[in-house]
A and B are shown apart, each in its own frame.
Chain A
Amino acid sequence: MQIYLPIAEVSINAFLLLGLGGFVGILSGMFGVGGGFLMTPLLFFIGIPPAVAVATEANQIVASSFSGFLAHFRRKNVDIKMGFVLLVGGIIGAAIGVQVFALLREIGQVDLLVKLCYVLFLGIIGILMFFESLRAIRRSKNTSLKRPTKKRHNWIHNLPFKAKFRTSGLYISVIPPACIGFIVGILSAIMGVGGGFIMVPAMIYLLGMPTKVVVGTSLFQIIFVTAFATIMHATTNYTVDMALAVLLLIGGVLGAQVGTRIGLKLKAEQLRILLSLIVILVCLKIAGDLVLEPKELFSLDMGIKH
């Protein structure tokens, strides 16, 4: 069944969109990522204009992350206090990121820089996470009885403005989480993603939060940052396609519920190794697009303001 999208101005099969939403939704619920890093490139691929894809994706992530967040919230797997600290940084970052994006558009290299950002961040995070999870699995096999509960004391613990994050079981400064939120905010505006794939590893490895809490807390922050981005895109670029968003989010919210339940059944290390493999795969695909000779050397850019 073909459906004509009013803002994107293209006709796409509705079931394809539902399926894409469902697939990405499952990942979203499993890993606490918005799924934007997968969905945005997929939307480009099926012929949605990039500007519409980025903006609509922000809207869709609101839905899938809210659905996933509720599922985690009921299980008390959300550190609301930590979420707010991340959020303050995130909103400031997103506001700056939108300005950076506009600047890059002027130069006409936004496409390249977005792709380079993807390759760089997905590559680093994917590889780091993959090897860390492998080590964790080996460790749990060797000494299955004693779980290493050694508190790591590094420079992060010497910063001021310490606060108690009861749900995470942490007593740390609010500066590192606010900074993480800020960086994620910038990247989410530039890359058209929620930023979970950066935030989740950062919370685990930099802040030392327990994996179970990380997913729900990350979703909490993503809801607000992507909602902010949706409004910004709708009012400045008119690129949010409501019909496209509805189709994606029907699949997305259902997928997120299924994904959350799958995620609860898997061990944290297995979850991380799976996510790292997906991240590496997407990274390689985008890197390939940059390095291999494209079939069509020319491209059209209709976004010229009259």
Chain B
Amino acid sequence: MTLLVSFMITSNAIAERLVAQLSKEEVAITANFDGSEIFIYGAIKHENSNKTTDPLEVVITVSGPAEKLHVRKKSKHAMIWLNTETIEIDSAPSFYAVASTGALKEVINNTENLKYKISIREVIRSIGNPATIQNPTDFTEGLIRIRSENKLYQDLDNSISLTDETLFATTINLPSNLVEGEYTIRFLLARDGKVIDQLSTTIPVNKVGLERWIFDLSRQQPLIYGLLSLFIAIFAGWLASAVFRYIRI
């Protein structure tokens, strides 16, 4: 696959290259973390300034660590709404944003979208659903709808500014309910619906300070963590009782 891609790009007579930069090197989740934003910018190098009629377009995707999950659907049985159908999604990103210079559908044609897995529907992978499920796509749509409401999936058409077919910039807002891990940022340069160059980089999203310490302790020393939690609880209970007695006398 990689071979094929590089072949396609080098075979292209008009060589344009992407150069990109992020406003920060990592996203630190601190105790008062309330979402963050990454300013992404870059330029298009025109090595063969052979002007064609079709304009250049830029697409940027940001994706969080992928995970396996179940999507359940409720239906009514004997007056009660309960989970009756379940499908397993083999891989769905915990966060996914697609920004583009125009409407994504016009910037990238369908074949290229399938090949490069650009839109969120192409990124979510589910295989081998039980035959009893009639509309498996409903489940994927449900997943996209729920995550979009939580700003975890973002369709950002027309959100990249492109100046003189050279300089581009955009801002991606990361919500507060972010999962830790390596986030991948992909840059795609397109012309006439086809991808002519791509580039990708990663940015780590990590808990730091107290958040880091609490999380690590809970995983590495669960018994000590549990006992510490209990100690805090008992101490707080005693303190409140003692303080109130002191005030009341």
Chain A residues within CB distance 8 Å of chain B: 1-4, 6-7, 9-11, 47, 59-60, 62-67, 69-71, 74, 108-109, 111-112, 227, 230-231, 233-235, 238, 240, 242-243, 245-246, 249-250, 253-254, 256-257, 290-294, 296-302, 304, 306
Contacts and interface: CB of A to CB of B under 8 A. Distances in A.
A60 B236 CA distance: 10
Interface residues on B, range: 35 or more
Contact of B218 (A242, A246, A293): A242
A66 B230 CA distance: 11
Contacts of A298: 71-74, 138-139, 142-143, 145-146
B245 interface: yes
Given A109-B82, A291-B79, A297-B74, A249 B236 contact: yes
Interface in B95-131: none
19 contacts: A2-B33, A4-B32, A4-B176, A6-B210, A6-B211, A59-B230, A60-B233, A62-B233, A63-B232, A63-B237, A108-B72, A227-B230, A242-B214, A243-B31, A249-B232, A256-B240, A291-B79, A293-B76, A300-B70
Q: Which of A6, A67, A245 has the most CB of B within 10 A?
A: A6
B74 to A, nearest CB: 5
Given A6-B215, A254-B240, A299-B72, A63 B226 contact: no
B226 A234 contact: yes
Nearest to B223: A235
A65 B31 contact: no
Contacts of A74: 245
Contacts of B178: 9
Q: Which of A1, A250, A301 has the most CB of B within 10 A?
A: A301
B109 to A, nearest CB: 30
Nearest to B74: A297
Q: Which of B76, B79, B222 has the most CB of A within 10 A?
A: B222
B34 A2 contact: yes
Contacts of B211: 4, 6, 243
Nearest to B35: A11
Nearest to B76: A293
A78 B132 CA distance: 57
Contact of A301 (B70, B81, B215): B70
Contact of B68 (A227, A235, A304): A304
